[in-house]
A and B are shown apart, each in its own frame.
Chain A
Amino acid sequence: MSETLKVIVDRPDATVAVLRTDGYINNTGGEEIAKEAYALLGSGVNRLLLDLEKTKIVNSIGISILIEILEKLLDQGGKLAFCRLTPTIEKTFQIMGLAQYARIFAAPEPALAWLRGESE
């Protein structure tokens, strides 16, 4: 039962990056994401898409690390989007009110358009 999270980083332009996760977002998974996110933030990215297509489960400790990433992005005038969430993960983010501060999309393309300011 190796649930270790893998993160693939894609940086389509200077200020936008996509993190694709694969696996369980718990404390260690959240820290993996944060490590990549903060490296990107330090190099000029302030708009981030978290594509969770291959993540089927998250826990509250992992989510608290995502809230930390969101806080840092907002502090830098940035934005955070999520896409391809399972219905339960999306419902959980709605319950928490996270969806008021980060946008949730079904697919990556509209999420990137929103991050780039090409759509409302």
Chain B
Amino acid sequence: MTSVERREVHLTIPVAPEMEIAATAQVAALGEWMEMSRDKIDEVKMAVVEACINAFEHSATPDRKVELSFRVEAEEGGRGAYLEVDVADSGHGFDPTRLKTPEIAAALRSSRKRGWGIKIIESLMDDVRIESSEHGTRIVMRKYR
């Protein structure tokens, strides 16, 4: 199958424990529909979990909601079909250019063990874009079939 029918799903989840798991159900449904491999679907799920928990934990979004869109599309003559997920909050934002690359050796020596989420997202997905301002953050992540 080289072509793929476009499909788009929107989901709003509250900032609440384990709501990120509800978001992964959409990844599984669309991933299976577009015949993405089980392992790749799992990688997208993990990336979506990380983006959601970042919005929950760091954004301080006043509406206590996170908006997700899931899109199956194809790049004509390009790399083919892909699943793209946006995770957006209306929080205070951050400067993604100032992120420090986490190091396991340093994490084992210091009390700071965190800082992995975005590195994990960037490693598991094919393309990642972060748009952030004082009005909120949107992370757009794409994985090709």
A interface with B by C-beta (< 8 Å)? 1, 3, 24, 26, 28, 56-61, 63-65, 67-68, 70-71, 74, 86-88, 91-92, 95-98, 100-101
Asked whether A95 and B119 contact (CB < 8 A) given A1-B21, A3-B18, A88-B43, the answer is yes
Residue contact A68 to B113, C-beta cutoff 8 Å: yes
Closest A residue, CB atoms, query B116:
A60
Residue contact B42 to A87, C-beta cutoff 8 Å: yes
Bound state CA distance, A100 and B119, in angstroms? Answer: 17
27 contacts between A and B (CB under 8 A): A1-B18, A24-B21, A26-B53, A59-B53, A60-B50, A63-B116, A64-B114, A67-B104, A67-B113, A68-B113, A74-B108, A88-B39, A88-B42, A88-B45, A88-B46, A88-B124, A91-B43, A91-B124, A92-B120, A92-B123, A95-B120, A96-B104, A96-B120, A97-B103, A97-B105, A98-B104, A100-B104
Across the interface, B39 reaches (CB within 8 A) one of A61, A64, A87, A95, namely: A87
Question: Is B117 part of the contact surface with A, judged by Cβ < 8 Å?
Answer: yes
B interface with A by C-beta (< 8 Å)? 17-18, 20-22, 24, 39, 42-43, 45-46, 49-50, 53, 57, 102-105, 107-108, 113-114, 116-117, 119-120, 123-124
Contacts of B49 in A (CB 8 A): 57, 59
Bound state CA distance, A47 and B116, in angstroms? Answer: 26
Residue contact A64 to B116, C-beta cutoff 8 Å: yes
Residue contact B103 to A61, C-beta cutoff 8 Å: no
Contacts of B114 in A (CB 8 A): 60-61, 64
Residue contact B18 to A61, C-beta cutoff 8 Å: no
Contacts of B108 in A (CB 8 A): 67, 70-71, 74, 101
Residue contact A60 to B21, C-beta cutoff 8 Å: no
Q: Would you give the shortest CB distance from A26 to chain B, in whole angstroms?
A: 7
Bound state CA distance, A74 and B109, in angstroms? Answer: 11
Across the interface, B24 reaches (CB within 8 A) one of A57, A61, A91, namely: A57
